[in-house]
Structure 1
């Protein structure tokens, strides 16, 4: 009887260990999307005079995983054109997205 309870405890420890081992933190798709958008917006031609330019970008993803810019809310036309040219219809790698889901991200031009 003692051996049976010892085997039972060992089996429970093994099962519990496997459960915790499989509980790996999953990547956040929105964070991955944000990183990819940041990479698409790198290497700007803005000067130090253009620091503090900001915009709110609304976009969605189509069925092919491409960004479709809906609006760029900013007072600077150059920034609006830049964001649209860099992001519109650029393919991003994202898992488990819903076609047509709308996203809003803030954009800020930072100095070098």
Structure 2
């Protein structure tokens, strides 16, 4: 990260693997495995600047439909341009994987929960 405030960077390596979350500040870096479901969530309310780098590791078998709901709140709705209600209704049909919740940053910036 080269400018701004905190970023939450996360990725899912493969089916049933742990969700990897890193909060980074200016001067910090994180690597995301090629092919992994990933996201970068800005935790502040001012602009930030980042550079993303990917390695060549094989993330294994990854099922998008089951794993995208493991991202923090707001990531799927923003990514797919859908409402939270739509995402939550979709999530209910795939109950095997928990959703990691990060509502604090959205509340802090006055964004809908």
TM-score (norm 1): 0.20
Relative to its length, the structure with more helix (as a share) is 1
TM-score (norm 2): 0.20
| Higher RCO (C-alpha under 8 Å, 6+ residues apart) | 1
